[in-house]
Amino acid sequence: MNLAFRWRRPGTLIRQGRAAGKRGFLTLPFGSSKQPTGQKFQETQIFPYSREQVFDLVADIDQYSEFVPMCTESRVFHNTRRVEQIGFKQAGQDPAVTDRHVVQAELAVGYPPFRERYTSDVVLERPWRIVATAVPGGGIFTHMRTIWEFAKAGSSARPHSPFIQTASDSTRVSFSIEYEFASPLHAQAASLVFDTMAQKNMAAYLARCHLLYKTAKR
């Protein structure tokens, strides 16, 4: 993967194409500075695992420091966990109620000498969606949000690699991260770290799925 990324003019969409999926960087015109401090990265891939398997792996934040790029520490504040009930309706079915779990988690990211720590509110709606939003105030971000979405992949979906057969319970995994740094100077120092994390993120989670689920029947 090409790690040589620079800040780009607002509205410039950078796409890198592979048969594996779609990805792209978008520089966001946040703030009033001439130097943009925000970016958004998006990527979609097909994982040959069920939605529940992929969701549970992404939801296991305590383990992030073992495999997520640039993540040096990760922990969930389990005493902050709460459960909310939400209503939903699927096509052709009666309205239903499911649980939504909300918890706070802390990540430390970077590499020497750069290292930052931040706390996020994480909303988990199994097996469809996980949203993590950085807690405002006192951190490196004025805004940061990560969204994972998990949908059943159709029979015509293409896997991330021609060497992997698409399973009947494969999952279309969509990942996006949008962040704005507190200052342009901080953005210059931290941009390489977060660009690298964004680019390598999907591959790291897929590799983790292979490690944990390679012997599971699909």
Per-residue pLDDT band for 174 (boundaries 50, 70, 90) equals very high
pTM of the prediction? 0.74
CA of 157: how far to CAs of 21, 48, 74, 154, 199, in Å? 10, 10, 33, 5, 22
Per-residue pLDDT of 64-79, as tens digits, reads 999 998 899 999 999 9
Taking residues 197-210, what's their average pLDDT?
90
**pLDDT single digits (tens) 81-132:** 999 877 666 555 566 667 789 999 999 987 766 778 889 999 999 999 999 9
